[in-house]
């Protein structure tokens, strides 16, 4: 696939999943626009960075204007930035909840709206990075799970509303190994235990998500819109199986 001279915006593109997506599209010749709250120490060729917080009300237009100033167009927007700290729901402050919802749901809506006119001209596409937390219960991260679930609805709704000129798709990402995974999953031992209990016997990688983005961004796949592509290696085994196994061992 050739993305030479295509302009791809990737929010949160300097680390984790976003960095993998950025590098993959850059290798295919695309002009990359990324943003983040901190400027990275090193920025690869073909990658343009703007420092901003996408939760701010004026950030969406600033990001779009930056992309247009650099390349004159936008071919694909990838709403990747997201996250939220684990916290017991009864202890989550209203301020924290608002920040999590703003980052994972409101910002993608705002940036998509800001990029609408430019994407319409190029017949471009939007890819929203959602999560398995959107499709299963999400204890300890209620605002995050609810936001990612909302992002799926944003995807299917805009895919219908903005067709046929703009395609909108989502990726439902599974458990992905990044530089932040060690703290989240209990170190290397915790990640190995987790991987051993997944169907594919490994966690996903940013490159796995990047490959899915490349497929969805490819204009040859112009009938794929409103799709929510699960990239989770077969999913997570249901907890009742482990509970049943433990119950049988008690007998």
Q: Would residue 39 count as lying in a domain?
A: yes
User: How confident is the model over 13-37, as pLDDT tens digits?
Assistant: 999 999 999 999 999 999 999 999 9
Q: Are 154 and 106 in contact (CB under 8 A)?
A: no
pLDDT band at residue 213 under the 50/70/90 scheme: very high
Closest CA to 174 of 142, 216, 129: 129
Q: Would residue 1 count as lying in a domain?
A: no
Q: Would residue 184 count as lying in a domain?
A: yes
Closest CA to 103 of 142, 41, 138, 147: 147
Selecting among 144, 185, 193, 223, the annotated active-site residue is 144
Closest CA to 177 of 148, 200, 205: 205
User: How many domains would you assign to the chain?
Assistant: 1
Q: Would residue 139 count as lying in a domain?
A: yes
Q: Would residue 2 count as lying in a domain?
A: no
Q: Are 85 and 138 in contact (CB under 8 A)?
A: no
Q: Would residue 72 count as lying in a domain?
A: yes
Most distant CA pair in the chain: distance in Å? 69
State yes or no: pLDDT of 123 exceeds 90.
Answer: yes
β-bridge mates for residue 47, sequence order: 32
242 or 114: which leads in pLDDT: 114
Q: Are 173 and 131 in contact (CB under 8 A)?
A: yes
Range of the domain at 123: 7-250
R_g of the chain, CA atoms, integer Å = 19
pLDDT band at residue 251 under the 50/70/90 scheme: low
Structure tokens at 224: 């794929």
120 or 181: which leads in pLDDT: 120
Q: Would residue 191 count as lying in a domain?
A: yes
Structure tokens at 231: 């990239």
- Whether 144 is a known active-site residue: answer yes
Q: Would residue 31 count as lying in a domain?
A: yes
Q: What is the CATH number of the domain that holds 134?
A: 3.40.50.720
User: How confident is the model over 149-178, as pLDDT tens digits?
Assistant: 999 999 999 999 999 999 999 999 999 998
């Amino acid at each position: 696939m050739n993305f030479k001279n295509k302009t791809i915006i990737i929010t949160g593109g300097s680390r984790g999943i976003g960095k993998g997506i950025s590098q993959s599209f850059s290798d295919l010749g695309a002009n990359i626009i990324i943003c983040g709250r901190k400027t990275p120490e090193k920025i690869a060729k073909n990658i343009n960075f703007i420092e901003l917080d996408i939760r701010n009300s004026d950030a969406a237009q600033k990001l779009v204007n930056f992309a247009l100033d650099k390349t004159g167009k936008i071919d694909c927007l990838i709403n990747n930035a997201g996250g939220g700290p684990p916290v017991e729901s009864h202890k989550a402050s209203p301020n924290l909840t608002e920040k999590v919802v703003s980052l994972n749901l409101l910002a993608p809506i705002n940036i998509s709206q800001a990029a609408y006119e430019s994407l319409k001209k190029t017949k471009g596409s939007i890819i929203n990075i959602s999560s398995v937390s959107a499709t299963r219960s999400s204890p300890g991260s209620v605002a995050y799970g609810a936001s990612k679930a909302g992002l799926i609805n944003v995807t299917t709704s805009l895919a219908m509303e903005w067709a046929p000129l703009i395609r909108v798709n989502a990726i439902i990402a599974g458990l992905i190994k990044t530089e932040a995974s060690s703290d989240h999953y209990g170190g290397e031992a915790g990640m190995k235990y987790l991987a051993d209990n997944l169907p594919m016997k490994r966690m996903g990688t940013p490159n796995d998500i990047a490959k899915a983005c490349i497929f969805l961004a490819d204009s040859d796949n112009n009938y794929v819109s409103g799709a929510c592509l699960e990239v989770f290696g077969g999913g997570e085994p249901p907890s009742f199986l482990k509970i049943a196994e433990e119950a049988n061992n008690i007998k």
